[in-house]
Structure 1
């Protein structure tokens, strides 16, 4: 499916029917969808969701943090837009939303972020909140220099050469994983390559955080830092039990203009070694678990001496060199 990030219109209608439109403040679409492997949605899907929102009077919100990559996939995969410019695709996407927000670190390679709307009534609702939580209304606490850097980055986001670089590297890496038989999310998405930790480590139960364990193991084997996207990134229920994620993924992010092809090949080589030695990897458990956003600030430890055994096998095969 080239657009795994698309929202299911039937499920949205069912949600509205069950809860009532008056209890749904907004519908949110994410370009591209981080938690399922950086997968994009199509403009055809966004138009359909826009129609449902209009039908029930619900605001449509767009997370545009990876909108450049989503626009690239639309140009490559959606026939209607194969001859469209990146700028036109971006304007079409944003024009379908009532409110657009973004992390500038992702969309424009700068600091800060932004909230954009053409709806005066929405802007008025936010006026008193921006100074309270961010900074003055017109700049949100961001320096003028950063706003200028953000503007340059946003212009670059309309350049096909710029926005194709990261997806091209990710596609190459995912192709390497598929050729080696290493389980991963396909087709290749945006932001990063996503290794399927659930299939990589089927012997580790979800309560022992296999995606987090894979991230730790891969750091030992390569010095490369990945990001857990699974149960560790979830929360607990009212009884203290983990709410198990639908998928357990290790995200290997590929920022624009950062890595060389030789570095990508190095990562693929070490992932193959780790896959061949995956039975050495064990689970994790919390030693410090914050009540909110535990995957940012929490601390975990191995449930056995598996890291020492993995490091010993590494030294046996590679010596002391990365």
Structure 2
């Protein structure tokens, strides 16, 4: 029997994730949204592309969680973007209510699923999903580091005019201003980028990585990134469905790893059929450790607002 992936939220990120999954023939896809007609229309359009792509993935759109029943993985992209005049706390509280409602329905219909959270603010929403679901931490994972490291890799490849396939990049911490790109663990064909890029240029690339989402919003004016975020979520989906044991930076619930207790923070993780299969702990310099702890504090502040 084919695998089943449900995506909650049929906006740009959700619909594009459905596109990547179907075009890779990873699973059958259920695209769910509260707005009537949107998931149905997008799913049908995508389904009609399958003969051209020569893929047998089945795609349906729905407003009913019953259609998501027995999903292997549920990707949650639901939530609202920040609007003019809206405070950070207002956004946080609104998306917390949405996340709580979504997760309760997901768990009721797919009690054995693995949840991948994409909604922002990412780390706090992953924490909220974890609390609501009652799953073990291996089955609730946040997508952030895959996206952030992809942006870092893009900028490194552009700077050095090399193939992106040669570039590995390492990003820890929360998704946002406090993320911690680690240049000494980032390489081009095994060569540390600290030996290839001078410090001032490297610092500019690190800052551009931190500002990656904002840079795209500035261009689009009325929207935010969706191609790379959805591709990042699907890399995690693929690692789990294919039991790849792939090491990816993900937001996971730490229980003392890296000296952080009880919060979702981005760290290198091994993903396989059980979801999170191992947290990889590396030795950080005092500066890197301080930056990671600062990032965790920022997550803690957000979680305090919504009480999770």
Which band: TM-score by shorter chain?
under 0.3
> Which of structures 1 and 2 has the bigger CA Rg?
1
Structure with more contact order per residue of length (Cα contacts < 8 Å, sep ≥ 6): 2
TM-score by length of 2: 0.26
Alignment TM-score, normalising by the size of structure 1: 0.25
More strand by share: 2
